A = this chain, B = another copy of it.
Amino acid sequence: MSKSNNVYKDAYNRCLRLLDETRSLPSEPELGTLLGVSRTTVRTILARMEETGLIAWNKRAKTVLRETRPDDFFPEEETDTLAEIIERSFMRRLLAGGAEAGMQINELELAREIGVGTTSVREFLIRFSRFGLIEKRRNSHWVLKGFTRAFALELTEIREMFELRSAAAFAALPQDSAVWTDLDRLEDEHRQLAGDIAARFTEFSELDERFHRLIHRASRNRFIVDFYDVIAMIFHYHYQWNKAQERERNEVAIGEHLVYIEALKSRDLGKVDAACRKHLKSARQTLLTSIPESRSLQKS
């Protein structure tokens, strides 16, 4: 089993949804750009759609023959990339406890346990190392540094530095910049979410990420923009792991975001700075309180 065809399966599923919406299919190259895959994959998709009687396909003529059915779709779990699978397994072990700082990480064991090749695990660990949670010993094992209080503090220190600077840069952007309409749209989404918070509070983390990424992008600095990947990853797993008071936390955060947005729109640097600091402070607090003391004891 040298390589799974998850790219095809995922694109196939997305193509089915497209079919549901538009009831027709464009040309092969166009479909390729739409789905973000090569024409080779598009043709594999079309071939299967023909096979399962979804469409009749003859050169450029693609006729939709019937509605899609639930069983046309590939199972969700077959559409994940190997990297996603490995990351999930790894993070589960990390957060499940028993993952003390200083612990060794064994590539071979991880690979066997997840059921993948060692190369994929190695590559994952290398990519993952930039998050600052693991470290490589030359010609030897990886060492877990642990999701400790120290880690959270170091992470938030950088985050605050970067976001304050980005927010200032944002406020200084010319009136005709496209970011202002993006900001208006986000403000709208915030208000809608606030209006139905009881039912939709779980949707906040996705909105949160889009909001902060928009601000960081204003820095026009790749290192700042890329660093948000670290923050996003940590907050993503942190939210999955700690659901306590999620609704309240999100409600507070939405309020802070709205103040922050108003400040940005006012272009008053003092206000921006204050609103940004306030929000970052409570974000840090949220992260810190969710790290149990046992986890924060660092081996030195």
Chain A positions near chain B (C-beta within 8 angstroms): 7, 36-37, 119, 122-123, 126-127, 130, 132, 138-139, 145, 151, 154-155, 157-158, 161, 165, 220-224, 226-227, 230
Contact = CB atoms under 8 A, between A and B. Distances in A.
A194 B214 CA distance: 48
B7 A132 contact: no
B221 A158 contact: yes
23 contacts: A7-B139, A36-B138, A123-B123, A123-B126, A126-B126, A126-B127, A130-B130, A132-B222, A132-B223, A154-B220, A154-B221, A154-B222, A154-B223, A155-B223, A157-B221, A157-B223, A158-B221, A158-B223, A158-B224, A161-B161, A161-B165, A223-B227, A223-B230
A238 to B, nearest CB: 17
A119 B121 CA distance: 12
Contacts of A132: 222-223, 226
Nearest to A157: B221
A226 B154 CA distance: 12
A145 to B, nearest CB: 8
A36 B132 CA distance: 24
Q: Which 8 A-B pairs have the closest CB atoms?
A: A154-B221, A158-B223, A132-B222, A126-B126, A130-B130, A154-B222, A126-B127, A157-B221
A12 to B, nearest CB: 15
A9 to B, nearest CB: 13
Contacts of A123: 122-123, 126
Contacts of A37: 139
Given A145-B222, A161-B165, 20 more contacts: A7-B139, A36-B138, A119-B119, A122-B123, A123-B123, A123-B126, A126-B126, A130-B130, A132-B222, A132-B223, A132-B226, A151-B222, A154-B220, A154-B222, A154-B223, A157-B221, A158-B221, A158-B223, A161-B161, A223-B227
A82 B7 CA distance: 32
Contacts of A127: 126
A4 to B, nearest CB: 12
Contacts of A157: 221, 223
A84 to B, nearest CB: 12
Contacts of A145: 222
A216 B221 CA distance: 21
A72 to B, nearest CB: 24
Contacts of A154: 220-223
A144 to B, nearest CB: 13
A87 to B, nearest CB: 14
A208 to B, nearest CB: 21
Contacts of A158: 221, 223-224
